[in-house]
Amino acid sequence: MSKMTTFVPLTKLRPFKDNWRIQVKCLHSWKQNTPFAGDTFEMVLADQWGNKIHATSKRSLMQRIQRVFPIDSWGVIEHVTVTPAGGQYRTTNYKYKMVIAEDAVLSRSDLADDRIFLSLANYEEIENGTKRPAFHVIGRIHELGDVQTVQVSGEDRKRVQFRLVDAEGNNLACCLWGTYAEQLEPFTGKDQTIICLIRFAKIKEFRGELQITNAFDASRLFLNAMIPEVTHLTEKLSNDDLSVGLVQKPSLYNRNDAEIKTISEAAEATQVEICKIICTIEAIDTDWSWFYIGCNRHQKRVNKIPNVDYGRMTKKDKPLFRCEHCRSNINTVGSKFKLHLVVKDDSATCNLMLLGSVGKSIVAVDAEELWDGSYEEIEDPEILPEPILSLVGKSFCFGISIMLDNVTNGSDTFVVLEVCSGDKVLTIETGSQSNSDMVTTSSTMSSRSAMMLDQISSDECPTPITKRKEDDYDLQDLTSSSKKQCIKIIKQEKTKND
């Protein structure tokens, strides 16, 4: 029996057994901190058959493991267990992850195998959202911006943005943070070809566009690396004439580039994009509250703390809430707009959601001024603040984001990025809550869109529809198809009765 057959392939591992003997290569390792597991040491391992598995251990075992398993080296592990893999970000497709405990036996291996077990994702997989677990992507860097220092959660972080271009000229937005951005600093401002390979990357959606980004410290970045498995592709990507054939795609939201669509055209979209729709507000959807309680620092929803009687408190009492972004209990919270509107044009009806300063731009009043300060469940959802109720019947041009959930799951709720009204364009700056959010400029709408806006009738003013509780509503899942059934379109009969 050969030496290779004495080891168990990773695909044979099953829970509730620990007598495995496996030979694996460490493809990557990093330290991680999670709210539930605390400090851990994470690894991605591969066997000689090319199977991959995510491995985890306590931080206290890190030095012991690293001595035997430095990155890109082979070793042997005995007496490990496996458990089901979970979580939104997964480094492999395998349904199990390995747990290395104190009783695991680790030893070096004399196997000589320089393969890096690279399975590259194509750009189409990334764009249509089918590449969900961590993936590997390669491309030529195009439109490399400067490395900037930005404030994130009150801390300075470095960030760099660019586009990755494949051999066919397809391109994707990319944003790298922290030490990954620092690796690109020597290349900024220079006219040279940079071939970028990102291992264990993830997808993020920002302002209606998918971006490739690093997964905290779990990614690996290679710049102009001469890796045998990608040498041919690297030579092809290095062709000086490649940039001529770039497939042009929209980057961040630009009101001048956004196409004007009807609601039915937006609903039938087959790709993630941004566009404008010109429509009339038919109703305020009171299946959802018009505001949420959020952290003043991060503008994200906060959670109630168990055993606290919020019904007897007001904002003057400054009760504590749990902010997962601050990772602490805080009392610096306030009301933030979360408007759900039912809108229509001549083609169809849909739902729009306006958050934070975008909501303020259309109401023209701070949410704090309209909030009564009570944390009690709203008794009568039909009673809305007058500035919100007065929106019904008015016509606007909305810049909206058509997201993956709209394209793949048929969600009829669109997130609004910008609000336009006639020749007044209200540009929303992220995180801004001041009156400077409202910027009057010359008209950016075409004559066709202006004519459409003039033709929209504002006579119908139906009543809002009924309220649904939203205690479990999560702002990070704003367009989930699981919420689709919660959005109720106002019926025509009700309009006639009004």
Q: Over its length of 498 residues, how does the chain's per-residue pLDDT go in tens digits?
A: 334 447 889 988 888 666 788 999 999 888 877 655 568 888 999 999 999 999 999 989 999 999 988 999 999 999 888 888 876 567 888 889 899 999 899 999 989 888 888 888 888 777 766 555 678 888 888 888 888 888 877 788 899 999 888 877 788 889 999 999 999 988 887 777 888 999 888 887 776 677 888 887 788 898 888 777 667 666 776 654 444 333 444 444 555 667 899 999 999 988 878 899 999 999 998 888 888 888 887 777 888 888 788 877 877 788 888 887 677 888 888 889 999 999 999 999 999 999 888 899 899 899 989 988 887 766 666 778 999 999 999 999 999 988 877 887 788 899 998 887 544 434 333 333 333 333 322 233 333 333 333 333 333 333 333 333 333 333 333 333 333 333 333 333 334 343
Whether 15 contacts 84, CB under 8 Å: yes
Whether 40 contacts 32, CB under 8 Å: yes
User: At which residue do the structure tokens 């007065």 appear?
Assistant: 390
Residue 98 bridge partners (DSSP)? 55, 82
**CA 395 to the chain's CA centroid:** 30
Q: Which amino acid type is present at position 451?
A: M
User: At which residue do the structure tokens 């077990």 appear?
Assistant: 117
Question: Going along 345-390, which residue ranges are E strands?
Answer: 349-355
Q: Using alpha carbons, select from 174, 140, 476, 436 the residue that is nearest to residue 301.
A: 476
Q: Which amino acid type is present at position 474?
A: D
Q: How far apart are CA 369 and CA 270, in angstroms?
A: 40
Annotated domain spans of the chain: 10-108, 123-239, 260-420
Whether 384 contacts 286, CB under 8 Å: yes
Give the tokens for residue 402.
């058509």
Pairing assessment for the beta strands 395-402 and 259-261 based on DSSP bridges: unpaired
Q: How far apart are CA 48 and CA 115, in angstroms?
A: 9
Residue 97 bridge partners (DSSP)? 54, 83
Phi then psi for 471, rounded to 5 degrees? -60, -30
Q: Using alpha carbons, select from 162, 208, 166 the residue that is nearest to residue 184.
A: 162
Question: Is the pTM here over 0.85, yes or no?
Answer: no
Superfamily of domain 10-108: Nucleic acid-binding proteins (2.40.50.140)
Instruction: Please give the radius of gyration of the chain, using alpha carbons only, rounded to the nearest integer.
Output: 26
Q: How far apart are CA 285 and CA 339, in angstroms?
A: 8
Question: Could you tell me which residues come within 8 angstroms of residue 298 by beta carbon, excluding any fewer than 6 positions away?
Answer: 153, 323, 325, 326
Q: How far apart are CA 228 and CA 197, in angstroms?
A: 13
What are the helix (H) ranges across 117-269? 123-127, 179-182, 231-237, 263-267
- Tell me which H or E stretch contains 65: helix 62-68
Give the tokens for residue 163.
């586009």
In this structure, the dihedral spanned by the alpha carbons of residues 151, 153, 157 and 163, taken in order and rounded to 10 degrees, is: -80
Q: How far apart are CA 444 and CA 457, in angstroms?
A: 22
DSSP 172: E
Pairing assessment for the beta strands 259-261 and 273-284 based on DSSP bridges: parallel
Q: Using alpha carbons, select from 136, 132, 97 the residue that is nearest to residue 119.
A: 136
Q: How many residues does the chain have?
A: 498
Q: How far apart are CA 396 and CA 419, in angstroms?
A: 7
Residues 457-484 as b/e (b if ≥16 CB within 10 A, e otherwise) read eeeebbbbbebeeeeebeeeebbeeebe
Q: What is residue 89's predicted lDDT score, i.e. its pLDDT?
A: 66
| Fold that domain 260-420 belongs to in CATH | OB fold (Dihydrolipoamide Acetyltransferase, E2P) (2.40.50)
Give the tokens for residue 197.
């390979």
Q: What is residue 354's predicted lDDT score, i.e. its pLDDT?
A: 93
Q: What is residue 352's predicted lDDT score, i.e. its pLDDT?
A: 95
Give the tokens for residue 207.
């302002």
| Fold that domain 123-239 belongs to in CATH | OB fold (Dihydrolipoamide Acetyltransferase, E2P) (2.40.50)
Count of other CB atoms within 10 angstroms of residue 355: 19
Give the tokens for residue 28.
């990557």
Q: What is residue 176's predicted lDDT score, i.e. its pLDDT?
A: 93
Q: How far apart are CA 46 and CA 313, in angstroms?
A: 55
Q: Which amino acid type is present at position 480?
A: S
Q: How far apart are CA 174 and CA 164, in angstroms?
A: 7
Answer yes or no: same fold for 10-108 and 260-420.
yes
Q: How far apart are CA 380 and CA 373, in angstroms?
A: 16
How far separated are the first and last CA of the chain, in Å rounded? Answer: 84
